Structures are given as C-alpha cells and as structure tokens.
Structure 1
Amino acid sequence: MSKNAQRLSQLVSTFGPGSMVDLPTRSIVVGGLEQWDMRPGTFQPVSEPRLAQRLQILLQERGQLDQGQRLNLRTPPVSDGNGEPKGVAAPIFPNWFVCDQVEANAEGTPTRRRRLVQWRDLDPKGRRRFTPEGGKRTEVTPIRFVCACDKGHLQDIEWRWVVHGATPCQEPMWIEERGTSADPADTSVVCGCGKRLSLQEAFQPRRLGFCKGERPWLLDRDPNGCGDGTTPLKLLTRTATNTYFPQVLTVISLPSEEDVLTKLVDEIIGEMNKVTSIERVGLFREFNEAAAASLTRYSDAEIFDCLTRLREGATADAARSPKVAEFDLFASGRPEIGTNHPGAKLYAQTLARSDWDDGSWASLKFVQALVAVHRLREVSCLYGFTRFEAAPTAADGDIEDISLAVHGAPIARATDWLPACEQFGEGLFVHVDSDAIATWLNGAGDRHRQLVGGYNRWKIRFGAAAPKYPTTPYVLLHSLAHALMTEIALDCGYPASSLKERIYALGPNGAERCGILLYTASAGAQGTLGGLVGTAPRFAQILRAALERIIICSNDPICCDHDPEHQTGDRATHGAACHGCLLIAETSCESRNLFLDRSLLVPTMSTPRFACFEC
C-alpha cells in the first residue's frame, strides 16, 4: 500500500477529503482531517496570517471552530524518515463490486452479464477476488455508480431495495450490458428472482430513495441535514468530473518589511498559534529550540508585541478581499517591491516604460505599468467541497457564496487546522489604466447589456442566492489574460497549462483597480527558471501578437455570432469565446473558463464596435 500516494498539492485540490480515488485493487474515499496522521514531525506549518485569519472567520461562522480558537495551516502528512510514511486514512468506497468474469446468459440473449457482489463477500486475504458458488475465482472491480445529494453527502446505492422495493430477496444479482454505447438504457441490474432495473430508470427523481446524511469520509452521518427523509438522492458516476469540486482559497504572500524581528516572527508565526501571552512566549522558546535560537537577542515582551501587531494586521486584512492588498502592492509604482534574497516571499521590480514600450503603438497606453515579479509565493488552502455543481468563484478573489442549489460540505467534523500548500514561482503584473477602462466602458453599453442578459439566464439555476455579476471590466481583463497566456506560452517555452492568472477588476463597477497577474508556480521548488520574467522586454510585441491572433477564430462566424442572451448553461456567460480562441486549461483559469468575450478586445466579424484595442 506504500505506493498508493498522492502529491501534497493534489490533497489540497483534486483529491482532498470526500473525493473518490481509484487504487489498483479498490476504490476509496479520502478521509477527513481527523483521519490524517498529523503527529509531530509529519507535517510543516504554513505561515500565511492573512489566509488563516480569513478562513478562521469562515469556520467560526459555520460552527466548526470555537470563537476563542486560532486556526493554523499545515501541509498534508509526509514521511518523517522513520519507517513507514505517515499518511491519510481512506475508507473503502463503494462497497459494491462487479466481477470481471462474464457469465453466460441463461436466456441466450447477446448480453454481457457480470456478478454484483459486496466487499464483505470478497476473499478476506486479498480483498480483490470473489469465488462464486461452485465456480472459479475471479477478479473484481468497484461498481461505477454511487449516489449523492446536493449537500455533498455520499452513499452506496441500496441495489436490493432499488430493484425489489420493500420485498426481501437474497438471490444473486448481476450487471447486464448490451451493445457498446454505454447508454444507461443498455445497462441493467438483474436479480436471480427475475426482477430488473434499467439504469435509465435510476435517473428518475426519487427512484434511488432519500438521503440519510452519510459522510463516509468522516465515518458518520451528518447530524444537521438530510435525516428527515425528504432530500432525494441522485445517481453519480464515480469517476465523473462532477463528483468533487474543491473549495480552495488562494493568496499571493506579501512581504513584511518593518524590521528584523518582524521578519523573524513572520517566518514562524504559523507555529505560534498557542502563544496568547508574554508568559507563553517563554514556553514556546523552551519547547521549540530551533525557532527560539533565531530570537535569542529579543525579550519575551518584544516578541509578543511583534506577534500581536502581525495578528492585528492580518485581522484587518481579513475584512477585505485578498486581491485588494495584492493589487495595492503591485500597483504601488515602487521601483523594488520586497527584498531580493532566496528566503523572500515576494520580490518584484516596476519596469521603466522605455524597457517595454517603444511608443510605436498607441493602444499600449491602455497599460499603465508593467511589473516583473522575479519571485512570488502562492499559498492555497482547502476548506470544503461541493458535488454536482462547482461553487462560482467571486471576482474579487474572496470566499465564494455557496448558499446555492448545491452546498459546501465540510472536510472535518471540527478542527483547528486546515491543509495548505505553498508554491514558488515568477510572474508578470500588468497594471491597466482604470481611466481608460472607464472611458471604454461608456462606449460598450450594448455589449454590456448582452453579457448581463446572458448572466441573468445562467444564474437562474442558483435561485435567490445567485453569485454577483463579475462586471464587464472583469470580462475584458479575463479575456485579455487568456489571450496573453496562450501567446506567452508560445514565446517563453512554458506549457500553457503551467501558467495561472489572477484578475484584478475591483470596485463597484470593476474599474477602480484594474490589473492582471500572470504567473507560474510549482510545489517543492524554490522558484522557476525566469522564462516568464524574461518576456517583459518583448511585452508590447507579445500583446500585439496575442490580439492579432484572436481577431479571426477558426470557428468563425459561429464563434463571433455567439449571443449570450439566447444560450443556456455556462455558454450563457460567454460572448465570442470558444476552444479555438480564448478557452484554456481549467486548471489555469480562476473562473473555470466562464465570463470571456474576445469582441471586447478586438473587432470581430459580428461586433466590431466594442473593441478596446486597435491592432
């Protein structure tokens, strides 16, 4: 089992608590935080006070953290070098399996029939084989279908009840398939007594029964929901993409530049959560000799005073969007931001305009400044997840409002810590002139109304608690970021999927603070190779090439004729945007490829008058 491993960053995103993972011999659900082996020496604290403080408020509002407790961030467990690696417990799920051996159909019809068995029926030695009555032992595979509800609860389908209803029956059951299309109508669950159920029928409302509030990743039933037998279960394909949508809050670390003591305390603040008085500083020194060695020159009172100031600053930042503080720092115009040393959280330089603009292109006045971010630290923290529908991302980078048709599920019953990972990299910050955005917006009123109309159709599925429209300047900057990422990948050599974005369209109408941060970051590395920062002198040429590339899409005129007001689903959030022009890997996009429109950037065949740039 030692080979059943995941990367730390995967446990904070794709495969966090509550997600289902296929292993060579079975399928499991990743256990909640109570089942993570977090003994001393198996994890590292992650210091990011702004992020911890914001999530602390969230957990206290949800009742998962007592009002007096402090939240801390930790990496997932890793090997401490002594014996077996410490890890994450993962219960078997689902408990129903399908035999690999195809049996002959007694009726003689051309179907593939395979035995349906439970975990308790398998060989107890290997737990991956089943021996039928008087038959040959066969390998088994976890069944593809489970059921869940909109609150994230998850359980096995009660196949005997679904097929027979209240009538008891202990005859063997089989999965029977016809054809090769995988159509639900061609797949049935058949019992030895003669009763059968088509999977097409299983999609019918209430056909699978009602949710019992089961949370197999927490080994319990939810005491606050779905116990009244009124929430219907939905069929869920175990390996489908809608089984798990992680809720992750990400921030870019900002530098502490007050004095030496502040920097020292800031580096270990994640280990000082229980230091709530001057007396406890002495205890911290006594039991954490490595950290105390760097603080030898300072008294307990000085250390506690510095710690208090850092906490108060984090509390103040927690009251506003994380992106506001990031933008204000990047757009400050300071020649150097942060300090240039290997342990720095952030180091950037605001470039002189002559370094990247030769004055030959008038449209480049839209860009107010360009910042080369030589080193940055990104911290991401998992705090929940949803099923069936991803919680929409807030344009200001804050925690999503998840009181939607789906609800965020917890990753622990109660905890004073959350899993986080830090990644290091580089990037470019493009400071966009807010006055130019406001002027352009005045002339794009018709397109603005079309985009808002599409958004109004899209938000219907969320009911009264629909997310806010991210503003038309956000759509403009988001579209520009995607165009730039595609072109930069061609220029600098990084694969497009390794680039990420943060869009800053802040303020009531999205035009108060405007900018784009394009960056790349990876876990377990002390930065990247400088290829992204190296594109800064060529930024004007890259921007122009990116815009020229999307004037014509390979899917035109269908793409440019796309009217968001007459679309359904996620397509209602798009203007002229498709996989041929603006859509990129969803892991690179902060909004899951929603809210894009190239007609806001450049003239297209159908909408030439709303373009912000002239190529």
Structure 2
Amino acid sequence: MSKSKSDVPKRADGQIRQSQMISMYGPGAMVDLVDRAVVIGGLEHWSYGSEGYRRLDEPRLRRSLVPRLKALDPNLDLAAEGYFRLAPACDARDPSPKVGVRALEFPRWFVCQGCRRLARAADAFETKNNRYRHQCERNRWAHAVPVRFVAACRRGHLTDFPWIPFAHEEKACDRPELYLREGATGDVARIIVECRNCGSSRPLSQATVLPFPCNGDRPWLGGKATNETCDQQLKLMVRTASDAYFAQVVTALRLPEPDPDPLLLKLREKDVWDILQHVTSLDQLRTFAVIPRIASAIEGVSLDKVLATVEAERSAERGKVERPLRTAEYERLTHAPEEVLGVLAPQGVEFAAFEIPDARADLPRGVSRLVVVPELREVRVQISFSRFAALSADLQGEYDFSRARVRPAVLTLPTGNEKWLPAAEVRGEGIFFELDLDAVLAWEEHDAVRERADALLRAFQADGQGGEFPGIRFYLLHSLSHLLLTAISLECGYAASSIRERIYCEAALSNDRKGMAGVLLSTGTTGAEGTLGGLVEEGRRLRHHLREAWELGRLCSNDPVCAAHNPVAEGSDRRLEGAACHGCLYVAESSCERFNRFLDRALVVPTIGNDPALAFFRERP
C-alpha cells in the first residue's frame, strides 16, 4: 500500500549534534538551512517533551559559576538541581514541535537570485513550497535567499542591517526599491546597494563603521520586549564569518568526593548537628549525650573522639574556601596513588588517575611526574557568547565578567524562569605530566628568559585586546603541549584534532608556594562507549614522545622567518606569539584552549637565531 504525500515524514533541513549546541550552535548562533537562515533560540525555546531532560550537575562547577553569572547580570542564577542539562535529543524521522530547540527566522531581509531585488521577506516576496520567491521582470519567477549581511555589536546584540537608511544616507525616499549588485569577485568594495526609485546608491565598503547606535536587539530571546539598552555602535557582519559567534565555555573534571567519615555522617544529621555544633567541652558533651538522638549517633565512640570530630568539622566550616577549578584538579592529579601493575580502575568510576613509579616512568631532566588517567569525565558548560572578539579566560579556565571591558550576551532572559545552562559530558582518557618546579623557577630567572618575557608582555599590551597577560610560564607549557600533542598523535591512533589540552599554570608566589606547571592531554567522546586506551598506553612512553617533540620544534618549514619573528616589531601582525606559525605549533582549534595564541617554541627547544638559554629543554630529553 503506497503512502500518501502527507504520510511521508518531513526531512530535517540539517542536523546538529547535542555537544555542538554548547559551542558552535548555542543560543544566539546563526545557522544556514537549505532555503532559509535562522538564529538558535534562547533557553526559553528549548523543549524536552514528556521524557524530560538529562541532568549533568556538577556541584564544584556550579559553585564557581554562580558569582560569575551574577557579575554578568544580577538576576542570573542556577537552580539547586538540574542546573546543567544536555541539549534535547530529536528524532529526525519523527519531528515534533514539542521536542527540540526552536529556531527563529533571521535575517528577515532576502535577495532575489534573479533580479537581485533586496527587501523584507514579508514586503516583496511570496512563499511557495516553503521557499520565498520573487516575480521578476517579464513574469519570470526566481527564488529568494537570505541576505548574507547583518548588523551586530560587541555585546552580542543582533539585528537586520539598516539597508534603507544606509542606501539613502540622509536623503528622503517615499518608496524605497532596493537592489543588491555584487561583482564577480565578491569583494565588499564591488557590492553596491542602489534604490531604483530615487537613484541613490552606495558601496557596502562604506558600512565598515556604521553611524547607527545599537538598539539592544536580542532576536534569539524573542521580540522587541527582550531588547535592552546598549551603548555600542552597530557593525557590519557576515553571517557565516568566523567572528560571528564565540561561545564562552567553562569545563571541569568530575572529581568524586572522598568517602566521608561514618561518624561525621551521623553527627552531620540535622537534628544532631544543630545541638553538637555548639559544644566546646567534654562536660557539655556529657550533658547532651543523654538525649536519645545524640546517644544513638555516638553509640560505641569515645567522647574524646566525638569532641575532636566536632571541633575539626567546625574549624573546616569556618576556614572553608572554594578551591579554583584547576587548582583542585591539579592537587588531585599530583597526589594520585601509585600505579600497581595488573590492578585496573573500578568499572564505572568517573575519575581514576595513577602515578607511574620513577623506575618505570623513565622521565628526563625537567619532568618530575607522569600520571596516566584511564578514566575521566569532563563537564562542559556554556555560560554566554560574544561576537567580533573572543573573551579570554584566566589561568583557571574561568571568566571574570566584572572586569571585562564589554560584557557578552546571555543565553536566557535573566528575569525568566530558566535557571540552568546547556552542558555536555565527555568521557575519555588522558595523560598528565608535571614539570620540575625547581627547574621551572631556575629557568624563569635566566636573563634571556626575563628579556623574552618583557618583550612578550609589551607586545601583549600593544595588541590591546585586554585581559591578563598569562606569563612566560604559560608560554612554555602551552608551546610544549602543542609539540607533544602533535608527536603523540602520530602513534597513539587518535587524530591530533581529537586530542585536547588542559594547561595547569600558576606563577610562583614564594619559595614555598611554587605554583603549578603541568599539562593534561586527553581525548574523549560524548557517547557512552568512551575511548580505546591508546593515549594512555602511549603516555607511558613520555620520554620517547618528548624527544620527537624536541625534534619537531627545532626546525620549522618557515625558518628562519618563523624563529626570528619579533612580536614587538612595528607592523607585526602576530603580537601574541613568538616563534610560532602554521608550520610548527598551530594545531586544530578544537584542541587548543587559546585559539593558537600565546605560543613560542624558542622557550621549549633551541631554535635558529635565538639564544639557546631561552630553551627549557636545551638538550634532547
């Protein structure tokens, strides 16, 4: 029996993976469909249907994000539970408006592919078979497509390009009839906006700086009611340009809490702790010990131990300070138990790390620790987005919006009911290595390294992008990470683009507080299957891969130009890196935390034309 046309399920115009909904295609991102273009709706437009959402809660990450969201907008907050959620999963074979993410048509201006008529879709075009079309001259019909130019501001606001006032400048026109003429090359200078009614015309190259203020349009949140005040100027933007959307994503490894003391669990019960938290002496404790619920909680335990446990917990509460995200992870990695041959991580654990003993690690000078991480889970959460320029996170991988010159755009109405953020969880494996902190401190004191650090700082300040200078130690770790990532990918079975770096860097505060200097290279997938173990096994051969990385960094195909690059030179177009380019250090942006910035291989290995004293590894490991 043949199916009628209405029975055939409608095919989707495209597909987006759930993990991409927190990076490339989050709320506010512009997406091209087959016949139209849309902007992904805010969290109010995400629907999970009757099955509900999948929680990806991570308390440590929540505690870090709440004050940062408050700095973005005082009304933003996260719920007590269900505050991180996986994007809704849709069935392309059975689409339903009750499940999925609603996308709103944007831009609203279209251009005819036949006569190049430029107008709002509702004003000059009609719909047929779910596509806009236009009746050109001599009764010819042609399809209309979304115009590829829009207007936006640095705060992320988005609106249709003001075509009519731009084409006419200050002239009056009672019946605008616009056409968009493009040259064969697509050069902006050859794109002309003209009005056939009054004869006005203007090249689009004059729109690089628009004289129009931003009205605070946020089409991903809804209509004009969602607009906000804005002090920025509108700028011309190409919808598909790489600077149209930058997601601010914060990540954290799942670190299971250590098993609590059974006695403390009993004492922390509300009815018990409300009384015992005020006990300061054994006499007071003996008085309260006759209360049935207290007696039951401390049964079989000496009063001295009970008092000591109460005092320890009370002191911990008074002095409790939330550890920064990466500091807590670094401490867990550097205090991992020693690996025992033949003993595997328990099945189903969220995090397992083992330090390779010195006898088996075979570490070169300058490297103090090697840790394999056969099981790890990473939670990635999008908190906002920006346009035209990416925001830099600090060394902890966190964003300080209170100090940002221009605050990014939000994913939901701050005064609304959506107190959650979109997230994804990655399951995978990794290797962690720590540099010898004493060796790093000695290296930082070299005159050549200090001069290089001063030059990179001056170049960073001249670049004028704002943020904090990461420091010379970060340049070292970041450059070493890229070299090692490339070397390992050649043998581990994973493509370099599927290996991701995580830099643990903190400057020394004193001789006793030497900071952090470590790198975690990991690979993972958002699927439930996890990974295959190739990266962990290759990590055990760290010395071999460091030697390969050393050879890769010694000579670049663009030397001596690359090695001699001076970021402080007048006219330099790469002020955020030293000896670094596509021929040596640049990797896929999915692998790099900093968009291939803050790199200098001369700080890792000796390079042509540079002082060998700059290199942390002067000799082959």
Do both share a fold (TM > 0.5)?
yes
> Alpha-carbon deviation of 1:132?
1.8
- Choose from 583, 590, 600 the match for 1:597: 600
Which amino acid counterpart does residue 78 of structure 1 have in structure 2? A
- SS of residue in 2 equivalent to 1:91: strand
Question: Partner of 1:346 in structure 2?
Answer: 351
Question: Partner of 1:609 in structure 2?
Answer: 613
Question: Partner of 2:407 in structure 1?
Answer: 407
Any residues of structure 2 matched to 1:540-559 within 5 Å, and which? 540-559=543-562
- Choose from 442, 445, 469 the match for 1:442: 445
Q: Answer whether contact 2:66 2:78 (CA < 8 A) is retained.
A: no
In structure 2, how many angstroms separate the alpha carbons of the residues matched to 1:383 and 1:239? 22
Question: Partner of 1:371 in structure 2?
Answer: 371
> Alpha-carbon deviation of 1:60?
3.1
Deviations 1:390-425 (A, max 9, x none): 001212222244754542110101331111110101
Deviations 1:491-545 (A, max 9, x none): 1121110010111112456951211000011111332011100102321111011
514 and 566 in structure 1: CA distance in 2 versus 1, 3 angstrom threshold? same
Q: Answer whether contact 2:134 2:144 (CA < 8 A) is retained.
A: no
Q: Answer whether contact 2:475 2:599 (CA < 8 A) is retained.
A: yes
Question: Partner of 2:111 in structure 1?
Answer: 98
> Alpha-carbon deviation of 1:319?
3.6
Q: Answer whether contact 1:391 1:400 (CA < 8 A) is retained.
A: no
Question: Partner of 2:69 in structure 1?
Answer: 59
Q: Answer whether contact 1:243 1:387 (CA < 8 A) is retained.
A: yes
2:197 is the alignment partner of 1:197:
no
Structure 2: stretches of 5+ with no match in the other structure: 1-9, 264-268, 272-295, 298-312
> Alpha-carbon deviation of 1:30?
0.3
Question: Partner of 1:76 in structure 2?
Answer: 87
2:133 is the alignment partner of 1:130:
yes
Which amino acid counterpart does residue 188 of structure 2 have in structure 1? P
Deviations 1:216-255 (A, max 9, x none): 00114555422xxx63210001100111000000111112
> Alpha-carbon deviation of 1:181?
2.4
In structure 2, how many angstroms separate the alpha carbons of the residues matched to 1:559 and 1:511? 32
Instruction: Give the percent of matched residue pairs that are identical in Structure 1 and Structure 2.
Output: 35
In structure 1, how many angstroms separate the alpha carbons of the residues matched to 2:41 and 2:319? 34
Deviations 1:44-70 (A, max 9, x none): 010211112222222234345467953
In structure 2, how many angstroms separate the alpha carbons of the residues matched to 1:333 and 1:353? 14
In structure 2, how many angstroms separate the alpha carbons of the residues matched to 1:173 and 1:500? 48
> Alpha-carbon deviation of 1:427?
0.5
- SS of residue in 2 equivalent to 1:544: helix
Which amino acid counterpart does residue 346 of structure 1 have in structure 2? F
Structure 1: stretches of 5+ with no match in the other structure: 104-113, 263-275, 279-300, 303-309
Which amino acid counterpart does residue 513 of structure 1 have in structure 2? M
- SS of residue in 1 equivalent to 2:87: coil
In structure 2, how many angstroms separate the alpha carbons of the residues matched to 1:249 and 1:488? 26
- SS of residue in 2 equivalent to 1:373: strand
2:157 is the alignment partner of 1:157:
no
Question: Partner of 1:267 in structure 2?
Answer: none
Which amino acid counterpart does residue 584 of structure 1 have in structure 2? V
- Choose from 145, 166, 169 the match for 1:141: 145
- Choose from 115, 119, 127 the match for 2:121: 119
Q: Answer whether contact 2:121 2:132 (CA < 8 A) is retained.
A: no
Deviations 1:309-339 (A, max 9, x none): x9x9999998432000000000014226998
C-alpha root-mean-square deviation of aligned residues, in Å? 3.2
**TM-score, structure 2 as length reference:** 0.82
Q: Answer whether contact 1:189 1:199 (CA < 8 A) is retained.
A: yes
220 and 255 in structure 1: CA distance in 2 versus 1, 3 angstrom threshold? same
Which amino acid counterpart does residue 426 of structure 2 have in structure 1? Q
Question: Partner of 1:477 in structure 2?
Answer: 477
Q: Answer whether contact 1:30 1:88 (CA < 8 A) is retained.
A: yes
In structure 2, how many angstroms separate the alpha carbons of the residues matched to 1:154 and 1:314? 46
Q: Answer whether contact 1:392 1:400 (CA < 8 A) is retained.
A: no
318 and 530 in structure 1: CA distance in 2 versus 1, 3 angstrom threshold? farther
> Alpha-carbon deviation of 1:205?
4.1
Question: Partner of 1:292 in structure 2?
Answer: none
> Alpha-carbon deviation of 1:83?
6.9
Deviations 1:441-487 (A, max 9, x none): 111222222222222212x2x4xxx3111111111011000000000
- Choose from 213, 216, 219 the match for 1:216: 219
In structure 2, how many angstroms separate the alpha carbons of the residues matched to 1:313 and 1:497? 43
In structure 2, how many angstroms separate the alpha carbons of the residues matched to 1:587 and 1:493? 17
> Alpha-carbon deviation of 1:82?
8.6
Any residues of structure 2 matched to 1:251-266 within 5 Å, and which? 251-258=252-259
Question: Partner of 1:494 in structure 2?
Answer: 494
Which amino acid counterpart does residue 499 of structure 1 have in structure 2? I
In structure 2, how many angstroms separate the alpha carbons of the residues matched to 1:138 and 1:277? 72
Q: Answer whether contact 1:99 1:116 (CA < 8 A) is retained.
A: yes
Which amino acid counterpart does residue 383 of structure 2 have in structure 1? Y
- SS of residue in 1 equivalent to 2:175: coil
Question: Partner of 1:26 in structure 2?
Answer: 36
570 and 431 in structure 1: CA distance in 2 versus 1, 3 angstrom threshold? farther
- Choose from 160, 183, 186 the match for 1:182: 186
40 and 257 in structure 1: CA distance in 2 versus 1, 3 angstrom threshold? farther
Q: Answer whether contact 1:422 1:523 (CA < 8 A) is retained.
A: yes
Question: Partner of 1:270 in structure 2?
Answer: none
Which amino acid counterpart does residue 407 of structure 1 have in structure 2? R
Deviations 1:563-596 (A, max 9, x none): 1222668711101111111111111101111111
Count of aligned residue pairs for this structure pair: 547
Structure label with greater radius of gyration:
2
569 and 409 in structure 1: CA distance in 2 versus 1, 3 angstrom threshold? farther
In structure 2, how many angstroms separate the alpha carbons of the residues matched to 1:504 and 1:320? 14
354 and 568 in structure 1: CA distance in 2 versus 1, 3 angstrom threshold? farther
Question: Partner of 1:324 in structure 2?
Answer: 327
- SS of residue in 1 equivalent to 2:331: helix
Any residues of structure 2 matched to 1:198-597 within 5 Å, and which? 198-206=203-211, 209-221=212-224, 224-226=228-230, 231-258=232-259, 319-335=322-338, 340-357=345-362, 364-401=364-401, 403-414=403-414, 415-443=418-446, 444-458=449-463, 460=464, 462=465, 466-508=466-508, 511-566=514-569, 571-597=574-600
2:59 is the alignment partner of 1:49:
yes
86 and 495 in structure 1: CA distance in 2 versus 1, 3 angstrom threshold? same
In structure 2, how many angstroms separate the alpha carbons of the residues matched to 1:397 and 1:485? 20
- SS of residue in 2 equivalent to 1:370: strand
In structure 1, how many angstroms separate the alpha carbons of the residues matched to 2:439 and 2:601? 18
- SS of residue in 1 equivalent to 2:431: strand
In structure 2, how many angstroms separate the alpha carbons of the residues matched to 1:446 and 1:158? 50
In structure 1, how many angstroms separate the alpha carbons of the residues matched to 2:384 and 2:320? 22
> Alpha-carbon deviation of 1:137?
2.0
